[in-house]
Amino acid sequence: MIDRRQALGLTLGMVLLAACSGGTGGGGSTAGATSGANPPPPASESAASSAPGGGNGGPVAAGGDLCGLLGPGDFAAVGVSGTGAPQENNPDVNTAYCVYAGQSAGTGGVEFDAFLAGTTADSKPAYDAASAPMVDFAGDGKAAFPDADGASLRKDIPGGYAGITIWKGKLVFDIGIPTTDTAKDQLVSLAKLVLQRAAGII
């Protein structure tokens, strides 16, 4: 979501540098392979690619396309209309910005972003940056996802959209949709799908 991308680029770029200088191995660095000075552009500014089909998402293996965790059919199934195959802006295999309608969630569209770190600890900065605009005053995120390392949900984010950010293990993701009376339930249902499908990589 556009406003967060600059913060994510800066935060995750620093995590990437720290991981590289520390010689950490394993599944690669965090979702921040872009430098902080050059955060990923909105999907509309990139050479967008479309995920196959217009149906549901499914499980994704390590190194796979993280946008594949959700498909337009998943949004339709919970009552979020007007989505199509995602326009993707994926700077590396651990970072995905996926827009299913409009330009971004922050401008009234539908968006799913995912960041896969090398370790659970490495994913905390991504969660902090992604959840910053989703101050969960009511505690709805943690109530719906008590086993998550972090969870924020808000249906009245300044800018006029609803969003959820989840941190579970090495994975941080957020989903943004238009604000409606049913947005909370829609976001919880979609986030549960992502966690189920990402079980093999978190």
Rounded distance between C-alpha atoms, residue 156 and residue 178, angstroms: 9
Percent of the chain exceeding pLDDT 70 equals: 73
Strands (E), 102-182: 110-116, 150-157, 161-168, 171-178
Looking at residue 73, its amino acid is G
Rounded distance between C-alpha atoms, residue 193 and residue 157, angstroms: 22
Looking at per-residue confidence, does 72 or 159 come out higher? 72
Q: Cα 67 to the chain's mean position, in Å?
A: 9
Average pLDDT of every residue of the chain = 79
Segment 163-177, tens digit of pLDDT: 999 999 999 999 999
Residue 16: which of 111, 97, 96, 115 has the closest Cα? Answer: 115
Looking at per-residue confidence, does 127 or 47 come out higher? 127
pLDDT class of 1 with cuts at 50, 70, 90? low
Residue 19 has pLDDT above 90, yes or no: no
How deeply is 25 buried, as exposed, middle or buried, from its count of CB atoms within 10 A (0-12, 13-18, 19+)? exposed
How confident is the model at residue 26, as a pLDDT? 31
Mean pLDDT on 100-106 = 94
| Angle ∠(140,147,1) on CA atoms, nearest 5 | 55
Torsion on CA atoms 149, 78, 110, 33, rounded to nearest 10: 30
How confident is the model at residue 133, as a pLDDT? 84
Rounded distance between C-alpha atoms, residue 21 and residue 19, angstroms: 6
Residue 35 has pLDDT above 50, yes or no: no
Residue 19: CB partners within 8 Å, gap ≥ 6? 29, 30, 118, 122
Tokens, residue 23: 């010689």
Segment 74-91, tens digit of pLDDT: 999 999 999 999 999 999
Tokens, residue 172: 């941080």
pLDDT class of 54 with cuts at 50, 70, 90? low
pLDDT class of 50 with cuts at 50, 70, 90? very low
In this structure, are residues 83 and 76 in contact, taking their beta carbons and an 8 Å threshold? Answer: yes
How confident is the model at residue 28, as a pLDDT? 30
Residue 132 has pLDDT above 70, yes or no: yes
Looking at per-residue confidence, does 126 or 17 come out higher? 126
Q: What is the DSSP pairing of strand 110-116 with strand 95-101?
A: antiparallel
Mean pLDDT is highest, among 28-37, 48-57, 153-162, 188-197, for 188-197
- Max intra-chain CA distance, the chain: 47
Residue 22 has pLDDT above 80, yes or no: no
Segment 182-196, tens digit of pLDDT: 999 999 999 999 999
